[in-house]
Every structure is written in structure tokens, then in C-alpha cells.
Structure 1
């Protein structure tokens, strides 16, 4: 969320500042009435059509609210069982928000609001994935680095269909998220769909890491500072600046900023960070309200405190880079000439703000579009990198959910996935068909021999774990986007 607004994808609670309370609808209406009541004779002609339109809008709103009140009263007085007033009110609010058809707008009850506030303080526990509503289910935007979701191999665009054996079809995003959250150390079982294939995975809930920025010096004599940013939270800009200064001390001459898998967060953090790379007065982004007016946010001391970065830089993006990550990347790309490397980003181009109520509930709604410095709206389109470097195909393989499925003569989806693992590791030459036959057994023996395991041709937990680890290491070792970014910076001359 910006200050406030926020462009954040709200739903697996990311850190957000406590929003300023916005003026409520009825307060707004009352203020108009009061304004009209003071000096009516001398001001009405000046306000003209605007006042007429406001009055018409007030009348329309009044009629709508009368209908809502009539339904509320009818249910309260006539339903055959006693009803809870708060439950009715919350249902009405939820209905209004849901009628917008916007997956980023949401009404949160006390518990959900507390979860959000816990997230602001980085104190929540869960699986560590940024999610959004996708039809009847929930889709992962990006797993957060170092969390159970990331370690379990969950990927952007994975669809979560059930939690602990219970379908989440029809549940609100917040309800689904609450099912996945819980005490640190407890387990949660997810049914996940990826590329039309369904599998189960069990994760152990953990505290989501507070640190959002990591860095190291790479590239040998080239001295390239490699910085990863996992989310945009309250302290991210501060952590980012500290990382850049630390790399300065280590002698970094160039920078690679990795925004891959970053689901976004606070717009204010993105503004502060982007401003460090832009000349004062250069546009970071634009926010366009529904009346069509676009407000420009420009680089300057207000955001960066006077700290500027002039080193050659490139930014890495992928399908898990969303919202604030896209704001940062687009700003550097269009206003500082920085090249983007990787694959097309997610494409979230809207801004949310939060209204806080006295009963400790909150409502998050989309209030504007955000545009790139050039005025592009990337919603559902994403940013296209200058240098395309996609992950290898085996990086998107699903997870083997049952070791017991991996037995000779069995035919099932887990066997098919397992065969793809073996093929990616170069030990399987047979046909990937889901049948655990002689060729699969031979491949298992071959791998067990290479890994110095007991050669049996049978798949136990140890063998599967070794294979999964080897595959993860191969994916990391064949990080095409990282290699492309390092190569680009190695070829870039410094002053």
C-alpha cells in the first residue's frame, strides 16, 4: 500500500504501515450538507453543476442505504432464529466489497485485521507465500525466499485447492489464508494444482523472516554487488540502503538487483529505493485516480535522503515479481536506462488503501491505477525484460506427494513426476509415461550408485530426498537469468 495508497497485493499479509483513517461515506455526505447550509445564497451559483451532481449522488446513495437498512431490519425482526447484528453488518459489507469483483479489495474482521497488523510488525507465522484469489481457489503469486513454501518447491501460479483435506472452494481469500496460518512448528497439508496436475504437500509452519534484503559480492575481479529483495516491507528501504553501503565498503563496482519472486509490498518502500538510482526530478511512477488525473512521483531527497547510486546496474525479474517490485523495476528501466533481465513480470498495476474502523476491523479497496514513468499500465501484462532468460523446464516440475506411489509396476502421476526428476538429472533414458517399469528401476539404481546410496532400485524417503536436493541444486546451478545478468555487468564498463 502506498502511503496510503498501497499498491501491495494484500493477501498473504505483507508488511504495511498503519493507514491513516479515511473519511467515511456518511461523514463525506454530512460535510457536503454542512457546506451547502452555510451561505447558500451567495455560493450556490458558484458551485453550479457540481453541487447539483453531488445532491443527485446523495439522493441515489440515500435510496440505496434505505434499501440496505430495510433488508437488515426485515431479517433482524422476522428471521425464524435470533441473528447476530455484527454478523449481519459484516455480511452486508462483505457483499458490497465482493460485488466489486476485485481480488485486491477486501473487508477484514478483527482477527483478520490483527493478522495484518502482525504482518506489519513481521511477527506472523505461516507458510510464506504471497497469494491471490483465482476463481474458486487461491493462486500463489510468489513464495517468499527462505520460507516453508519456497523450501517445499511451491511456484508462482500454483493453485491451492484444499487445506488439510478440506476444499477451499468458495472461501474468501482471507478465510483460505487463515486456514494456512497457525502456530510455529505445526503442520499444514495443501492440495496444489500445477499445469493441470494435482499433488499434495505438507509444510511445517514457521516464522516468516523479518530480513527482506540479502547481499554478497560476486564476479571475482569484476566486483559485482548482488542484492536480493524478497518483499517491500516497513524496513526494506533501510535494509536496502545498508546493503548498498556495505557493498561500497567491499569495493563493489557494479550492481545486480534481484527482484525475482518478490510479490511486492509497500509502495513507499519502492519509491525510496527507486529514488536512490534516479536523478532528482525524474519520474518514479504515476498514480491515476478514477477521474483520470495522474499524479507523478519524482525522485528527490524526500525519498532517498540525498543518497544516490551511480554504479552500472541491472535488475532481474520473473513471473513472481509483482506490484512494488514492478514499480521499482519499471522506474529504473524507464527513468535510468537500467536493463531488465529474466522473464516477464506478474503484472499488478493497481493501488490499494485501507480504511480503519472503530471496532478494529479494516477495509482494503483498490483506489487507483499506477503507471510506469512512461505512462504504461502494466496490469495483467507485466514488464518485458530486455534480455530474456527463462528457467529450465525442470524448474517447474510438481512435487512428489507420496513416496509409496513410487513402486515397481505402479502407474500414477507421482511416478510420472519422478521420471521427470530422473530425466532432468540425466539418469533416465526411458519414456516419461507414469509407469514404474524396468527402465525406471534401472535409473533409480544408477542414481543410487552415483549418490553412494544402497543400490536397491527401490525408492525410499532417503533416495527421494537426495534426488529432490540434487534437482534443486541443478536448478540453482543453471540459473540462466543470474548468469545473463552477471555476464551483462561483466561486459559493462565502469567510469
Structure 2
């Protein structure tokens, strides 16, 4: 009984303190206004009303917090309530790119920008109640497993992600290098599960080589991190020494990153003084960024260039592609429509090492276009073969004669793509399908049993991925165009 009275007295003290703070704020503001004249009084009066409204709102939040903390039928941690309140405010915005990050999540974000970490290598976002992949990073477990932009992660290690925050989903997929995590993916109405081995996600974001035509340099940019512009400059210089006279810049499946790096890279291709980007805050006034020596350190790429984009090219990748398309010299975009992320985020760090990542502005292309949720259309449309977009096959099951499913239909199409003779491609596992599986198993040194077991399915998918890479129509069109 005495304990309950103590709680009640404490609650009353909190409420009285809140009223005192509000009254003090109003009185001080009004005194300043009256001493300063009529015009300022009107402005200050608005501020007083704003402060009063804010204090009333915070008072209500404080009341709910104390009611829950002291009166809920079982103990609840202060941190859980605070995190819940913060996440609730953020989620009320309906903006998948604004989020409150705890200490672990904040560290993971910083690692992805400036360091390395163990994970599957997929950039994800919250879309409604769903966890959706923006893009897999090239060369990572996610990319090798065939995960694609717009795939929905419905389960992680067998548990539904329906009520997960974005941060929780990310933290569960990250972990110690070499450990395994299973993800269940929904794509076009079909679900499948992949077990991935976490790997060190590469810090290096730029790779370069000479294309099939030795006078063309091929540069792949996988994300925009702290050293991307520097790495890009070094790669261009290296390829020039090897004989490159023009460049293909591949930002497909590049989920973006730091805006300053996108600006620096864009400036390398744009004449000084020309616009690269417009950023518009809540005041509606655009800040225009223009190419300059300050951005690119005087390093220019004047050779003919082509940029490859696709549905996994987002954010900073789109800034780069749009800048080169609209302000660059003779730059062509080849591929498919980009993702369409036209907002800018910043982080507000706290002393306890948590952070608030919030959308502070929208960005526009040099000509003032907002590509958010629309994407950028390429000048030349070209894509991988259709088989590249088939749903990956669930390897937790084995498929055999007499069965009928969408998974088997995808398997049949993959076998046809690899050159195996199949008339049946409807999803029914008939005798011809069994013979094709047996022949594949024989050709690839697998146990010959006519069943599409895990080892067989993974082998087929790896072969398909390799052949798809060799059938890169966008890359081939870029080489043809630069070879003219």
C-alpha cells in the first residue's frame, strides 16, 4: 500500500513540474514580446502558441509514459518505452527512409558507410508492413543467391517479419562472417527460402577492367561510400594507362549511399558551372549544386561514356545517372528504369550512440525533375534474359516425378536455358523432366537420382547465373555503341 502511495506522489510531482515549466515558458515569452513592440509581439505570440501546443503534447506523452511505467500489470523497462515512443513518432511519418536507430543499428549504418561488416549484402527498406529489398550488392551472398530488387523478405530464420522494424530485420540478417541465416522471399506471388552464409561485405566500392574491346574501360560501382570518388578516379587513371579511350560505368543494383560522393563523381563528367543536382528542403527553395574543381579536385573524364542502370539503381546512383544524362557530354543511359528514390537523409547522433536518420529534403535532377517513385528511363532499353527474373527455387524441398508446382516450372525453364531438351514447361514433373535432371546430374558430377534435390537445384541456379552474366544485353549494347 505504501509503495503505491509513493508512486502516486511521484506521478503528481511529475505533473506539477510539467505545469510549472509550461507556465514559465509562456510568461517569459510574453514578457519578451511586450517589451519588444507590436510587430515582434505577433511573431512571439505565434511561437508561444507553438510552445504551448508542443508542451501539451509532450505532457500527454509524459503522462502515458509514467502511467505505463508505474501502473502496467508487470514491470516494463524504461528503455523499451522510450524506444517505443521514438519509433512510434518516426513510423507515424509513413516514410520508409526515416528511422530511429539503437546503438547496434547505428553502428551498422556507420559500418556500411565507412567500414565492413558481416551480412548478406542486400540494401533493404520498409514498405508498409513489408521488408523489401532495394538492391543486392554485387558479389555478395544475396546477389549470388539470386535475390533481386523488390523481393519481399517475409521470414528470417523461419520467423515472420510482419511486425519487424527495418532495424530489427537488418540486425537479424547481419552477424558474424561464416554463420548462416535463412531468408524466405516473396516474389510475384511465389515464396522460396534461401540459406545464406554471411560474408564480409566489401569496403571497396569500385572495380575496373578492360572490356572485350580493349579500348573500352568497364567500371562497376557497387555503392557510394566514403572513398568511392577517390576509388573511381584511381580506376579511371589505371584503365587509361591500359589503353581505355571510353568508359562503361555500371551502377546497376547500386543502392546508393553518400550524396557528396555522387556529386564528386558527377562533377568529373560535367563542365564546370553546369548543374548536377537540386536539393529542396521544407522551405521550397532549391539549392543548386554545380560542377566545380572544388567537387572533383580538377579531375575530369572527357572521354565518351555510357552508364548502365536498372531497377536496383537507387538514390546516389540515380543522382549520378541523371546528372550525366542531363548535364554530361554525350553520355547515354542503357538498361532498365531505375528504382526511384528522390529524397535526402541525414543523421542526428545522440550521446548514447543511438541516431535518428531522417529525411530532410528531396532532390531534383539538373532540369528540376523529381524522380521519386518514378525512376529514370534509359535512352536504350536492354536487359538480361527473362530467365534472370525467375523466382529462385526453394531448396528446403526436393522435387520429383509426379509433382506439379511453380517451382518446377521455373526449374524447367532454367534447364531449357542451359540447353537441355524439354517440351514440358508447365510445372508438371514428367518423365522427360526426370531425364533432363539425370542428364544434368551426369554432366556436372552430381549423384544421379532424377530428383531435383538441394545440391542439384543450387548447381543449376549457379550455372544459370553464370550464363546470364555472359548474356548481359545491356553491357553488350554499350560495347557495340562505344565501338562504333
TM-score clears 0.5: yes
- C-alpha distance in structure 2 between counterparts of 1:463 and 1:220, whole Å: 36
| Higher relative contact order, structure no. (Cα contacts within 8 Å, ≥ 6 residues apart) | 1
1:360 is aligned to: 353
The change in CA–CA distance for 1:112 and 1:457 in structure 2 (over 3 A counts) is: closer
2:265 is aligned to: 273
2:206 is aligned to: 213
Decide whether the 8 Å contact of 2:213 with 2:483 is kept in 1.
no
Judge which range, 335-344 or 415-424, deviates more: 415-424
- C-alpha distance in structure 2 between counterparts of 1:187 and 1:451, whole Å: 26
1:44 CA displacement: 4.7
Decide whether the 8 Å contact of 1:143 with 1:156 is kept in 2.
yes
1:64 CA displacement: 1.2
1:429 is aligned to: 422
1:192 to 180, 185, 192: 185
SS of corresponding position for 1:138: strand
Decide whether the 8 Å contact of 1:106 with 1:365 is kept in 2.
yes
Decide whether the 8 Å contact of 1:405 with 1:412 is kept in 2.
no
Equivalences for residues 51-130 of structure 1 within 5 A? 51-130=44-123
1:419 CA displacement: 1.1
2:142 to 146, 149, 157: 149
Equivalences for residues 254-403 of structure 1 within 5 A? 254-337=246-329, 338-402=331-395
- C-alpha distance in structure 2 between counterparts of 1:142 and 1:272, whole Å: 23
Q: Does 1:247 align with 2:239?
A: yes
Decide whether the 8 Å contact of 2:225 with 2:258 is kept in 1.
yes
Equivalences for residues 37-48 of structure 1 within 5 A? 44-45=37-38, 47=40
- C-alpha distance in structure 2 between counterparts of 1:410 and 1:429, whole Å: 16
1:45 CA displacement: 4.9
1:71 CA displacement: 1.6
Larger Rg, first or second structure (1 or 2): 2
1:182 CA displacement: 1.3
2:195 is aligned to: 202
Equivalences for residues 148-187 of structure 1 within 5 A? 148-187=141-180
1:458 CA displacement: 4.2
Q: Output the TM-score relative to the length of structure 1.
A: 0.87
Q: Output the TM-score relative to the length of structure 2.
A: 0.89
The change in CA–CA distance for 1:45 and 1:123 in structure 2 (over 3 A counts) is: same
Decide whether the 8 Å contact of 1:405 with 1:415 is kept in 2.
no
- C-alpha distance in structure 2 between counterparts of 1:484 and 1:467, whole Å: 27
2:401 to 408, 424, 427: 408
Task: Provide, for residues 416-436 of structure 1, a one-character-per-residue CA deviation record: whole Å limited to 9, x for no partner.
Answer: 221121122232432323221
1:462 CA displacement: 5.1
The change in CA–CA distance for 1:161 and 1:266 in structure 2 (over 3 A counts) is: same
Decide whether the 8 Å contact of 2:267 with 2:295 is kept in 1.
yes
SS of corresponding position for 1:220: coil
Judge which range, 164-173 or 406-415, deviates more: 406-415
1:66 CA displacement: 1.6
1:413 CA displacement: 3.5
1:339 CA displacement: 1.4
- C-alpha distance in structure 2 between counterparts of 1:326 and 1:369, whole Å: 13
Decide whether the 8 Å contact of 2:398 with 2:453 is kept in 1.
no
SS of corresponding position for 2:109: helix
- C-alpha distance in structure 1 between counterparts of 2:322 and 2:54, whole Å: 39
2:482 is aligned to: 489
Task: Provide, for residues 56-109 of structure 1, a one-character-per-residue CA deviation record: whole Å limited to 9, x for no partner.
Answer: 322221221121122222223322333322222221111111111111111111
- C-alpha distance in structure 2 between counterparts of 1:92 and 1:125, whole Å: 30
- C-alpha distance in structure 2 between counterparts of 1:49 and 1:310, whole Å: 56
Equivalences for residues 459-474 of structure 1 within 5 A? 459-460=452-453, 463-474=456-467
Judge which range, 39-48 or 359-368, deviates more: 39-48
The change in CA–CA distance for 1:404 and 1:38 in structure 2 (over 3 A counts) is: closer
Specify every segment of 5 or more residues in structure 2 that has no aligned partner in the other structure, as ranges.
1-21
The change in CA–CA distance for 1:197 and 1:428 in structure 2 (over 3 A counts) is: farther
- C-alpha distance in structure 2 between counterparts of 1:44 and 1:368, whole Å: 35
SS of corresponding position for 2:79: helix
The change in CA–CA distance for 1:462 and 1:252 in structure 2 (over 3 A counts) is: same
